Amino acid sequence: MKSEFGAMYATGMGTIEPRRKANNNACSTDYHALKEGLEKTQRFLQYDGQVMRFLAVEVYSIHPPYFPKVEEEIRQRGEDVYSLSNGHGFVVSANAKRYALSFYLASLDTEVVVQRGMGHTGAGDEPMMIMKKSRLAKNWREAQRFRVPPSYYNVEDFHCGEIVDCYGRLFLLVGCDEKTHEAYRSTYGIFQNEVPLIAENEVNVVQPIPSQGDGFLAIGSAQDTLATVYGMPKVTKDYKKIARLVCLNHIHCMYNIDHFYLLEIKDNYYVQKRLWSPIILSI
């Protein structure tokens, strides 16, 4: 059956339905498996290489407002949220992290990755891949409990301004590329109304450096003070230099692979000093 499908697709003659039994036109045992395989082959021949690409931002609520702080700033300026949002009734912050959502027509798979900015290496951030290329179920909560069969996202389910539930993470579609615009308009009769991104006023927070006697912090040396301030680089101590200076003062020194110890003889006892925590060791 599959060997004949290429000729049937090229000529437009025949059907993708598998053959039925001669008696009462009943389905064979492998009817549904053959039908699914033929539908995959037809989608591959028709849609190979066609991808619908969307721009999305992550939100934490399924209902608007998604960015109440931005909407409050717009209202304080006397502007209309509805007109600024192209009729959507909500706004999206331009400072929100952006994601690229791709839908592959040939396999009906969905992929979500982090969209990096220009010159951003992403070192130390979350992985690029949020969801690898696979089928995405709309009712995944009910399907994983085997209450209902899974209902997967299709090309008609993606619209700018709507939420895509990716296994608990909510992604709001805010735009798409020109090929996706044209494909939806010409093939499906759907106009993708993009959601504009509104710039948010950023306030640079400057952390003050506390001084000795300020507040309840037990502030000692200048090195300790800098180490307690968020964002300030911690000052490291050169223990080898300390060891050289201590040994010059005829105080016994001892090293191991991890820590540095100072040993000083006091009344036939060794006083072991490690990181300002003396421990008395008997000789």
- The predicted pLDDT at position 13 comes to 53
- List the one residue out of 137, 136, 115 whose CA is nearest residue 125: 115
- How high is the pLDDT of residue 246? 61
Distance of CA 96 to the CA centre of its chain: 11
* The overall pTM is greater than 0.75: no
What gap in Å lies between CA 150 and CA 143, rounded to an integer? Answer: 5
**pLDDT score, position 176:** 95
Could you tell me the sign of the dihedral formed by the alpha carbons of 213, 214, 220, 223, in that order? negative
Residue range(s) in the chain whose domain bears CATH number 2.30.29.170:
49-198
Residue 138: both structure tokens together: 């709309």
pLDDT for 249 equals: 54
Q: What pLDDT is stored for residue 77 in this prediction?
A: 87
Q: Which residues of 172-211 are buried (b: 16+ CB within 10 A; e: fewer)?
A: bbbbbeeebbebbeeeeebebebbebbebeeeeeeeeeee
| pLDDT at position 269 | 42
What are residue 263's phi and psi, to 5 degrees? -115, 125
Rounded Cα distance between 219 and 197, Å, is 45
Per-residue pLDDT of the chain (283 residues; tens, 9 = 90+): 555 656 665 655 555 566 665 555 566 667 777 777 888 888 888 888 899 999 999 999 999 999 998 888 888 888 888 888 888 989 999 989 899 999 999 999 999 999 876 545 555 555 688 999 999 999 999 988 888 899 999 999 999 999 999 999 999 999 999 999 999 999 999 999 999 998 887 778 887 776 666 666 665 666 555 556 666 666 677 777 776 766 655 444 444 434 444 444 444 444 444 444 344 333 3
Q: 49-198: which CATH architecture?
A: Roll (2.30)
- β-partners of residue 109 are 104
pLDDT at position 83, please? 86
| Predicted pLDDT of residue 32 | 74
Residues 6+ apart with CB under 8 A from 182: none
Instruction: Decide: 121 and 229 in contact? Cβ < 8 Å.
Output: no
- Report pLDDT for 157: 94
Cα of first residue to Cα of last residue in the chain, in angstroms, is: 91
* Contact between 193 and 202 (Cβ < 8 Å): no
Given a contact cutoff of 8 angstroms between Cβ atoms, the answer to whether 53 and 30 are in contact is: no
Q: Distance (Å, rounded) from C-alpha 34 to C-alpha 19?
A: 9
Q: Which residue in 205, 163, 203 sits closest to 69, CA to CA?
A: 203
